[in-house]
Amino acid sequence: MLKQTALSALLLCLSGLHPSRLFAEDKIVGGPFAVNVTGKSATIGWVVQSGEVRVGENRVVPVLRSEKISMTGLKAGETVTYTIPGGLRGTFKTAPAKPVAFEAVVFGDTRTRHDLHRKIIGAIEKTNPDLVFHTGDLVTDGLDVEQWPRFFDIERVMLDKTAFFPVLGNHERNSRRFYEFFDVSTPYYSVDWGGVHFVLLNSDLGNAALSAQARESFWAEQLRWLDEDLAKAQKAEFRVVVMHHPPFTAMKSRQSGETPVKAMVPIFEKHKVAVVFSGHDHNYQHHLNKGVHYVVTGGGGAPLYPVDAPIEGTTVKVESTEHYVRLLAAPGSIRMEAIALDGRMLESLELKP
């Protein structure tokens, strides 16, 4: 049974943590949300608009500030309730230490068509997931400060009651705000949740405006880390990867453009990864290659892309529609359900160790 812990910003402050005061002119425009959640710790974040800058005659640009509180000394598998300055409350579950039943959601590419993005979030929120993974492209331009408050406004009803794990997409443009808002201190990392080892990779930083030598170094280091991390996770019942760019795609225009991530495929196979989730392509795709499932879930609101080039012998299912993916984990199994915005079950399958 899950234990429940109630924490407030006041108690956190008294324990040596110091959340900023909320001044009269400050307005919370994002959060609260829980990130970096493990079985022992978590970070609570929220975004404050502390002012605005008028540009020209008609444009007003918000001045945003990222706030965080680090929680330590938590217990595995407990429910934590917290209150941030300003009185907003949130809750999340810490990672269970042993294989137990839990639910996760994976979705991505939410950068435009905000009405559909909002509907997707509403559908996800109703499932009450324990943790949510975003496959990247949260916004259209991560450097544009005006886009982030809208993202947080849409996702608020979900973010304040789950653990959130986003990965960097190309449209974040390697913005410092992504790293600040979500307390991302390393470009790639992993987290254990019950019997599942989740690996979050950065498939975009190596494609950013870096020198050829810097890109090569980045990819070499990430591949080395990935190999070592998965080797250490062989006792986990399942190994699951989340990143932005797909190693396999049924879109003809994309099939020659994802060469760097293809170098990860032999490592996935070597360490018996169960499923690799990605976004980037705005549709649903399921491929199966040498025992590894590759699922593209990019139907979070961005303009849909046609699926015109299924890979013979590899592609299992494709559909160009808004959707999200549920993972219903239990000891010894994961049931994966791809659900369209209209409620249709696009696909369902059960994974075994």
Q: What is the pLDDT of residue 57?
A: 75
Query: Where does the chain hold its CATH 3.60.21.10 domain(s)?
Result: 98-351
Q: Which residue has the higher pLDDT, 215 or 76?
A: 76
Q: What is the pLDDT of residue 243?
A: 98
| Residue 131: both structure tokens together | 């943790």
Q: Is the pLDDT of residue 59 over 80?
A: no
Q: Are 249 and 265 in contact (CB under 8 A)?
A: no
Q: Which residue has the higher pLDDT, 185 or 295?
A: 295
Q: Is the pLDDT of residue 275 over 50?
A: yes
Q: What is the pLDDT of residue 206?
A: 63
State the sign of the Cα–Cα–Cα–Cα dihedral 315, 319, 321, 322.
Answer: negative
Least confident of 52-66, 126-140, 227-241: 52-66
pLDDT tens-place string over residues 86-109:
899 999 999 999 999 999 999 999
Of 266, 269, 262, 268, the C-alpha closest to 247 is: 262
Indicate the average pLDDT of the chain.
91
% residues pLDDT > 70 (the chain): 91
Q: Which helix (H) or strand (E) holds 348?
A: strand 345-351
Of 195, 180, 39, 203, the C-alpha closest to 108 is: 203
Superfamily of domain 98-351: Metallo-dependent phosphatases (3.60.21.10)
Q: Is the pLDDT of residue 350 over 80?
A: yes
Instruction: Please provide the distance, in angstroms rounded to a whole number, between the alpha carbons at the two ends of the chain.
Output: 25
Q: What is the pLDDT of residue 12?
A: 45
| Alpha-carbon span 223 to 241, nearest angstrom | 13
Q: What is the pLDDT of residue 215?
A: 86
